[in-house]
Amino acid sequence: MSAEERIKKEIIQNFGHAYRAFGLNKLMGHVVALLIFSPEPLSLDEISQNLERSKGPVSQIMKRLRDRNLIRRVWHPTSRKDFYEIQPEIFENAFRNNFELIKSNTRLAKQLKATVNKEKSDNFDTLKLRLLEMQKFYELTEKHFDNFLSEWSVEREKIYSKSK
């Protein structure tokens, strides 16, 4: 096996683990790594072949990746096949996906707090305070996420303008 192939395999494996750690499907990570690695868009067949999976699950994974804005479809004028490539803003988009989870936690905390506050019972004192803390925590998180994203767009621009 060539050095290239070794590195490629390693990256693919690593991405699989990383995706897994974040609660996503390992195969999603593999596909993302493969596409990051590839200078050209790849077809469904090429991807299945490369990762040694059948078309079925790969097709499903491609849908999930598209839903998350991590990849996108492109078309060759000469071919009837779909081709896929990485979304240029993949890291930012992955981050946004997690951001959505954070936001849903904020909403959850607020909603729970509202429900609990309606109750007369004193038993909820500990909980009320905790839910307030939770809400504040996630609100602060959201603020910093926003800051991060605007700073990142500047940073990213720098990387790619240099490389031209």
The amino acid at 120: K
Q: Is residue 56 within the footprint of DNA (CB under 7 A)? A: yes
Give the 3-state secondary structure percentages of the chain, helix then strand then coil, rounded to 5. Answer: 75, 5, 20
Interaction partner, residue 85 (a second copy, DNA, none; CB < 5-8 Å by kind): none
What residues form DSSP beta bridges with 73?
84
Is the Cβ of residue 18 or residue 44 nearer to a second copy in the bound state? 18
Interaction partner, residue 105 (a second copy, DNA, none; CB < 5-8 Å by kind): a second copy
Interaction partner, residue 150 (a second copy, DNA, none; CB < 5-8 Å by kind): none
Buried b / exposed e over 24-43, threshold 16 CB at 10 Å, is bbbbbbbbbbbbebbeebbe
DSSP state of 52: T
Q: CB–CB of 56/47 below 8 Å? A: no
The amino acid at 89: E
Residues forming the site for a second copy (CB under 8 A) = 3-4, 7, 10-11, 14, 18, 20-24, 36-39, 86, 91-92, 95, 101, 104-105, 108, 112, 115-116, 119, 121, 123-127, 129-130, 132-134, 136-137, 140-141, 144, 147-148, 151-152, 155-156, 159-160, 163
CA distance linking residue 87 with residue 156, whole number of Å:
14
Q: Is residue 18 within the footprint of DNA (CB under 7 A)? A: no
Query: Which residues are near DNA by CB under 7 A?
Result: 25-27, 43-45, 52-57, 59-60, 62-63, 79-82
